[in-house]
Structure 1
Amino acid sequence: MKSEEIKTSEEDKFHIPAEVVSYDERIKVLNHSDSFAIFDRWGDIHVYTKTAQGIFHQGTRYISRLELRLNKKKPLLLSSSIKEDNDVLSVDLSNPDLIACNIQENNLHILRSQFIRNGVYYEELSFINYSNQACDFDISLLFEADFKDLFEIRGIARTLHPNPPQISSKDNRLFFDYGGLDKVHRRTEIIFSENCECSIRNNLVLFTLHLKPHQPHKIDYLIVFRTNEQFLTSEKEKIYVSDFEEAKGLMRNELKKIHQLFADITTSNEQFTHWINRSKADLVSLLTPTTHGLYPYAGVPWYNTVFGRDGIITAMEILWVAPEVAKNVLSVLANLQAKEFIPAKDAEPGKILHEARSGEMANTGEIPFKEYYGTIDATPLFIMLAGMYYQHTADLLTIEKIWPNIKAALHWIDHYGDIDGDGFVEYKHKAENGLTNQGWKDSHDSVMYKNGELCEPPIALCEVQGYVYAAKKYASMLATAFQETAYAEQLAKEADDLREKFNTIFWDESSGCYALALDGNKKPCNVVSSNPGHCLFTGIVDEDRAETLVKTLMGEDMFYGWGIRTLSAKEVRYNPMSYHNGSIWPHDNALIAAGLARYGFQNEAMKILSALFSASLFIDMQRLPELYCGFKQRSGEGPTAYPVACSPQAWSVAAVFLLLQACLQIEINALEKTIVFNKPELPEYLDKIVITNLKTGDDYCDVELFKYAYDIGFHVTHKPEGWNLIIKK
């Protein structure tokens, strides 16, 4: 028994334990580009052994403590909230009784405004004295910087012994310096505005304020996160904007520009519209500048970096409302595509990246994720996205640039992905400390036989075969566009052969479902899971089996109020509190809903949309997290939170757009210059939808949809010249 426990622990060492976040303390999250911050509701950051609070930059915690005090006392919390555009944390505080200063509670108002931009944290403290007499009091800010790697905070033990940080100060600046074991010098530089009269004592910054009745006062400061090449000190060379209002204005202008990448959607239901707007704001905050365009980082806090699978699926979910994101994702991942065989990275020529990390533990090799390729599905998904993007935009120039990458990815599928030459794509990790499971359900226990025993590799997942099928179908279309007729015919035949073989071997009549996977001996894992729902999305499912599969997916053991579970409640390993074996993932449900609609089951797709919309109404900020627990729906209660779920998470907040597309069954085809609504349906709580700035080639379309008793009405206010809008009823 002990040896099994040790083995399980080793296999699952990259699992995120629940104790790294204490959910007794509600948190507030800010993120921008390579930086994010986790505060308590007071806007403070505390030093606790098992919490992830802090300000992080490029995978390292640059601030581990930030505490505001009035005469050494904690302020009283009035309220705190993230502004609607997801840019600023606004915290309203007041004073406790300050007897020594003769100030009764709730006479001082303190407003903390906090945001992050381009590797710099900004804070403005605004004070107003609402009493009828002048008052004197002390303000202190306590800082610490431990420079811990994010993976160390997640619970991965260090194999090396890091150096202690050093602290120093000069004038109105406080410095924390850390010499990394990866030869990177990291610095946290805290800078107070020149008009602030403060004293710095070690890591404590002190101010003494004298405020007359109704007199306001402000304290501004910023924190710059630096690495080797950024130690620039002269004013002419500084790499940041120092003025609080100027930086905030620049940030808001940048966010406004990114918002323009998206179509605008409003509805007759204010709460549904808020869900859309919140999701868009979260996506905008996760879109991070790279040398090849804005890329949707996977999620905060654990995945604030480039992930191949997450970026691709996010781009698919929002393709119809923001096609530019797909173009960027394709460009970034093509540039990062593996070019050689490196077992330590699970890299093989043509394979698409799983994730890239830049923290100290990645740089020293303590974790394998500096550039890691341990994913079985990102490569066919990359090809799928390329085909979907081309069909949507007719942007042949972009596809031409990455056509060699698409061909290399197709070569990887046939020569590396199919390990045993049986026609199916499977995985078995080569990196010594790489991921055991390499599909989207990548926890160590997510693939099992009917009796609950874990599947033996190499493992061929059902949804991966669907991705490969769709990849070859789309690649055939692209080959035709480049007049490579023989290659196009070959790819189309390979796709059709795979579909026939898949439906013969993976289908399990007794469960009315496709097997989750085949093991190395081709023994099926005949458990009912959500994975076959992705097969509907790709179109690999035979028409005569679709209805049976849909009934299985929508049965009470799978769908119970808040969405479709990852694993049936009837299975041995079902656990509604697990990461992948009974929980509910919004992106998973969105892909399934799109698949349901593809096969004509729009009523079922609307049930999923309604389930996730209902869940959003109970969740803070209407922000769907990475996942939540798969318990049965209880009257008057929301879904049960999963303790370490990322929020915001790109493919989760993007789910609403694919869910809406599934109900409307809208398809934009720039090759044929058509916008098609194929038997669109709207749920009972949406009487009207207005879509504007919907990208169609170089132009846009504006359309309104109205729900009537037995029909959907349309009003087109702008349509591109030469395009046709087709409504099928």
Structure 2
Amino acid sequence: MDAPATPRGADATTEEAGANPERFAIPAAASLHERRPRTLKHGDTFAVFDHSGDAIAGPGSPEGIYHRDTRHLSHLHLTLGGARPILLSSSLRDDNIALICDLSNPDLSDEHGTTVLSNDLIHIRRVRFLWQGAMYERLTVGNYDSVAHSLSLELYFESDFADLFEVRGSKRERRGTLHEPTVEADRVRLAYDGLDGVHRATVIRFEPEPHSIAANRAQFRLDLEPRSRKTLIVRISCGEVAEGASLRRELIRAYRSARRSLRDSSSRAASILSSNEVFNRSAQRSVADTYMLVTETPYGPYPYAGIPWFSTVFGRDALITALETLWLDPEIARGVLRYLAVHQAREFDPVADAEPGKILHEVRQGEMAELGEVPFRHYYGSIDSTPLFVMTAGAYLERTGDTALLETLWPNIEAALNWIERHGDRDGDGYVEYGRHTDEGLANQGWKDSHDSIFHGDGALAVGPIALAEVQAYVYGAWQAAGSILSSLGDVEGAAVYRTKAEALRDRFDRDYFDEELGTYVLALDGRKQPCRVRSSNAGHVLFTGLAFPERAAQTARTLMEPASFSGWGIRTIAAGQPRYNPMSYHNGSIWPHENAIIAAGLSRYGFRKEATAVFEGLFAASTYVDLRRLPELFCGFARRPAQGPTFYPVSCIPQAWAAAAPLFLIQSSLGLSLDGAAGQIAFDEPHLPEFLDDVLLRNLTVGEGRADIMLHRSGNKVLVDVRKREGDVRVITRV
């Protein structure tokens, strides 16, 4: 995965771990699930608030407004008459555009203790959103009393200009210069000169002008007649902005632009409507979260990994998210492929773990990355991003028939294929292994990148270079994809070469990785080619790409669905009873929605639709216990019990792109849905629906130059397919 968020001294997991496995660990001083923060994102800016809309500074607090990996506002606190208002409700719009917080006054007393204002007579509504590097807020204060009141409303603020890695817990020996705030009648400017030579500023502007303003506070005197209300506008910009005369008009224009931008991007996607209103809400949130995390780049839409710690480019996360949403909106995959092609490694850089042809792992834009205090400015330390890049290119071509893009990308695809053989296969044994080039790099470079996530049957940590089972599956998928791409481009001979490589890998992998006693594939081969004989979820990825022989697939499916692996909520990363199993760990017994969606796709590929729908049902049931019905990055692997919800992981990120998209991928897997852009064909192969869905309507499902609306109805153990609307030359077929 991306950077593990792990309690220090407990699981001791870490993503960006070098010689010290805890160097970049995220302290679990407070549970993100306990905070249930409210998050907003647009472009390279995101914000984390509490339910009242405040950002409370303090050790371990992730709250604030961030831009390009720097926290531009670390504290924002509203008071009324010197007291914090009472929270009434807090919610995000269904499309994630705005956060709405409703508050009321507590009992307010004078210096003698006499109550001067009883509670719940003054209503405060805070509506805020992000647009182009700024947060806009409209504060409306209403008096529901029968008498007039004169009230003081205060906003306190400050910025630490902390690098994201500092917020996550990294300590720095030196920092840049934090300047004294500049105060004007209607604004305060906070500024910081970083050691990287970059001047960073936060400008807080108010309308109307506060009655008093200072370096960390603005005070408004509100004279409210009975049943009247007053409105204040606040803009917090990350950097300088062009100033207009009216902040109110600017807010209205920005809000309309933000809504229009999101509507334009999400309108590309097919829509999902079912007979289950709870599921409709969950699916709507999945789509909204996915598009909130999508950032427009010069190369197209790119899903940033997640909030708060991973709101940036990650290669693996984006490629998997692109695969999950490919049936829904192929434009996301197009943007991801184009971005990663442009940023593909072209030379050796040991500090960045870069090798020619390798695909990005992570990009960071903050001060610490620019200075090299963390090695992630442009970092390439993931072993699976490169084959996933080729796989995604092949899947995109099948989905769209867009040979023009693939012709443009072919040099990058070819470079990635060459990397697999020349640099990925370090010892020439036909398997792709990883090993960092310096002690600064990641120790483990698969998606399970905790320092203790790869181990042997006795619990001993594996010593590299390590050849993960799922990475070989992705390589197989890459060889097959290369064959399909070359066939489409007219190179039949070249296509045959890559298909031959795929079949040779399949035979070799079956011999070296399948373990009859375990009833599944081993986790990995270590540097001495000794198998890590552990029952793990990694085996499910082997099904995903079709690397498994059918008889092995059946055994693996049974093992994955045994109670030791399938908790009822989902499939655990490590089966119960295995060494190092811990349901509260990051990678050694937890449940990850994105991985379960991948495994369900693998089960579906081999015809195990009932098993795939069981995974779907488990994750959907888990989502009903989560605030806003969002699936988190991960949750604990404890067994599902009647009338109880899942156990949450304390510092799981939410929303997380590949978790948000998981339910969308699960729909595709359950329905056996495939789309062939060149043939203009939509196919349903032995479709199934879980018991919580009787009907599913897919609207605006595009393929080639056409589109269709399709209703699927569950009747007993069968699913009936009804084409409700068809535009253009589209064929819809059902295989039963």
TM-score scaled by length of structure 2: 0.95
Whole-Å separation in 1 of the counterparts to 2:719 and 2:31 = 46
Q: 1:694 aligns with which of 697, 701, 711?
A: 701
Q: 1:618 aligns with which of 617, 625, 638?
A: 625
Whole-Å separation in 2 of the counterparts to 1:482 and 1:715 = 35
Query: Does the Cα contact within 8 Å between 1:196 and 1:219 map onto a contact in 2?
Result: no
Between 1:93-102 and 1:516-525, the stretch displaced more is 93-102
Between 1:548-557 and 1:23-32, the stretch displaced more is 23-32
Query: Does the Cα contact within 8 Å between 2:186 and 2:205 map onto a contact in 1?
Result: yes
Deviation at 1:638, TM superposition (A): 1.1
Deviation at 1:38, TM superposition (A): 1.2
Deviations 1:457-486 (A, max 9, x none): 100000000000010111011112222232
Between 1:619-628 and 1:665-674, the stretch displaced more is 665-674
User: Where does residue 178 of structure 1 map in the other structure?
Assistant: 192
Deviation at 1:687, TM superposition (A): 1.2
User: Where does residue 130 of structure 2 map in the other structure?
Assistant: 116
SS of residue matched to 2:155: strand
User: Where does residue 638 of structure 2 map in the other structure?
Assistant: 631
User: Where does residue 90 of structure 1 map in the other structure?
Assistant: 100
Deviations 1:489-539 (A, max 9, x none): 111111110010000101111101111100111001010000010110000
Whole-Å separation in 2 of the counterparts to 1:642 and 1:631 = 11
User: Where does residue 682 of structure 2 map in the other structure?
Assistant: 675
Give 2:259's aligned amino acid.
R
Whole-Å separation in 2 of the counterparts to 1:191 and 1:95 = 25
Q: 1:278 aligns with which of 275, 285, 290?
A: 285
- Identify if the C-alpha distance between structure 1 residues 553 and 165 changes in structure 2 by more than 3 Å, giving closer, same or farther: farther
Deviation at 1:233, TM superposition (A): 5.5
Deviation at 1:17, TM superposition (A): 2.5
- Identify if the C-alpha distance between structure 1 residues 258 and 721 changes in structure 2 by more than 3 Å, giving closer, same or farther: closer
User: Where does residue 202 of structure 1 map in the other structure?
Assistant: 215
Deviation at 1:563, TM superposition (A): 0.3
User: Where does residue 53 of structure 1 map in the other structure?
Assistant: 63
Between 1:130-139 and 1:21-30, the stretch displaced more is 21-30
Query: Does the Cα contact within 8 Å between 1:130 and 1:213 map onto a contact in 2?
Result: yes
Q: 2:532 aligns with which of 525, 528, 531?
A: 525
Query: Does the Cα contact within 8 Å between 1:32 and 1:118 map onto a contact in 2?
Result: yes
Deviations 1:425-457 (A, max 9, x none): 000001331111000111111100111111101
User: Where does residue 504 of structure 1 map in the other structure?
Assistant: 511
Give 1:40's aligned amino acid.
D
Deviations 1:129-173 (A, max 9, x none): 111111111111000100011111111222433333431112211
- Identify if the C-alpha distance between structure 1 residues 714 and 216 changes in structure 2 by more than 3 Å, giving closer, same or farther: same
User: Where does residue 341 of structure 1 map in the other structure?
Assistant: 348
Taking only aligned residues, the RMSD between alpha carbons, in angstroms, comes to: 1.9
Deviations 1:561-597 (A, max 9, x none): 1100000111110011111000000000000000001
Query: Does the Cα contact within 8 Å between 2:70 and 2:366 map onto a contact in 1?
Result: yes
Q: In the TM superposition, what are the counterparts of 1:283-294 in structure 2 within 5 Å?
A: 283-294=290-301
Query: Does the Cα contact within 8 Å between 1:135 and 1:211 map onto a contact in 2?
Result: yes
Deviation at 1:9, TM superposition (A): 7.8
- Identify if the C-alpha distance between structure 1 residues 718 and 703 changes in structure 2 by more than 3 Å, giving closer, same or farther: same
SS of residue matched to 2:476: helix
Whole-Å separation in 2 of the counterparts to 1:21 and 1:531 = 28
- Identify if the C-alpha distance between structure 1 residues 232 and 258 changes in structure 2 by more than 3 Å, giving closer, same or farther: closer
Whole-Å separation in 2 of the counterparts to 1:171 and 1:683 = 60
Deviations 1:326-361 (A, max 9, x none): 111110110110010111100001000001000111
User: Where does residue 653 of structure 1 map in the other structure?
Assistant: 660
Query: Does the Cα contact within 8 Å between 1:21 and 1:51 map onto a contact in 2?
Result: no
User: Where does residue 535 of structure 1 map in the other structure?
Assistant: 542
Q: In the TM superposition, what are the counterparts of 1:35-434 in structure 2 within 5 Å?
A: 35-100=45-110, 102-193=116-207, 195-226=208-239, 231=240, 235=244, 243-434=250-441
Deviation at 1:11, TM superposition (A): 2.3
Q: In the TM superposition, what are the counterparts of 1:535-684 in structure 2 within 5 Å?
A: 535-684=542-691
SS of residue matched to 2:301: strand
Deviations 1:279-312 (A, max 9, x none): 0000110010111011000000010001100000
Whole-Å separation in 1 of the counterparts to 2:583 and 2:538 = 16
Whole-Å separation in 2 of the counterparts to 1:569 and 1:510 = 16
For the pair 1:18 / 2:28, whether they are aligned, the reply is yes
Whole-Å separation in 2 of the counterparts to 1:235 and 1:107 = 35
TM-score scaled by length of structure 1: 0.96
Query: Does the Cα contact within 8 Å between 1:558 and 1:569 map onto a contact in 2?
Result: yes
Whole-Å separation in 2 of the counterparts to 1:23 and 1:137 = 35
Whole-Å separation in 2 of the counterparts to 1:36 and 1:42 = 17
SS of residue matched to 1:435: coil
Whole-Å separation in 1 of the counterparts to 2:719 and 2:547 = 30
- Identify if the C-alpha distance between structure 1 residues 5 and 147 changes in structure 2 by more than 3 Å, giving closer, same or farther: closer
Whole-Å separation in 2 of the counterparts to 1:160 and 1:442 = 29
* Identical-pair percentage: 45
Give 2:358's aligned amino acid.
K
Deviation at 1:672, TM superposition (A): 2.6
User: Where does residue 4 of structure 2 map in the other structure?
Assistant: none
Whole-Å separation in 1 of the counterparts to 2:249 and 2:373 = 36
Deviation at 1:710, TM superposition (A): 4.3
Query: Does the Cα contact within 8 Å between 2:560 and 2:571 map onto a contact in 1?
Result: yes
Give 2:549's aligned amino acid.
D
- Identify if the C-alpha distance between structure 1 residues 350 and 700 changes in structure 2 by more than 3 Å, giving closer, same or farther: same
Whole-Å separation in 2 of the counterparts to 1:586 and 1:411 = 32
Query: Does the Cα contact within 8 Å between 1:172 and 1:198 map onto a contact in 2?
Result: no
Give 1:98's aligned amino acid.
L
Whole-Å separation in 1 of the counterparts to 2:288 and 2:533 = 40
Deviation at 1:112, TM superposition (A): 0.8
Whole-Å separation in 2 of the counterparts to 1:435 and 1:25 = 29
User: Where does residue 459 of structure 1 map in the other structure?
Assistant: 466
Give 2:664's aligned amino acid.
F
Whole-Å separation in 1 of the counterparts to 2:105 and 2:56 = 20
Q: In the TM superposition, what are the counterparts of 1:448-487 in structure 2 within 5 Å?
A: 448-487=455-494
Whole-Å separation in 1 of the counterparts to 2:66 and 2:83 = 27
SS of residue matched to 2:394: helix
Matched length: 720
SS of residue matched to 1:500: helix
Give 1:155's aligned amino acid.
G
Between 1:157-166 and 1:480-489, the stretch displaced more is 157-166
SS of residue matched to 1:19: coil
Give 2:78's aligned amino acid.
L
Whole-Å separation in 2 of the counterparts to 1:50 and 1:273 = 35
Whole-Å separation in 1 of the counterparts to 2:20 and 2:592 = 25
Give 1:48's aligned amino acid.
G
Deviations 1:359-416 (A, max 9, x none): 1110110000000000000000000000000011100111111110000000000000
- Identify if the C-alpha distance between structure 1 residues 323 and 526 changes in structure 2 by more than 3 Å, giving closer, same or farther: same
Whole-Å separation in 2 of the counterparts to 1:531 and 1:522 = 18
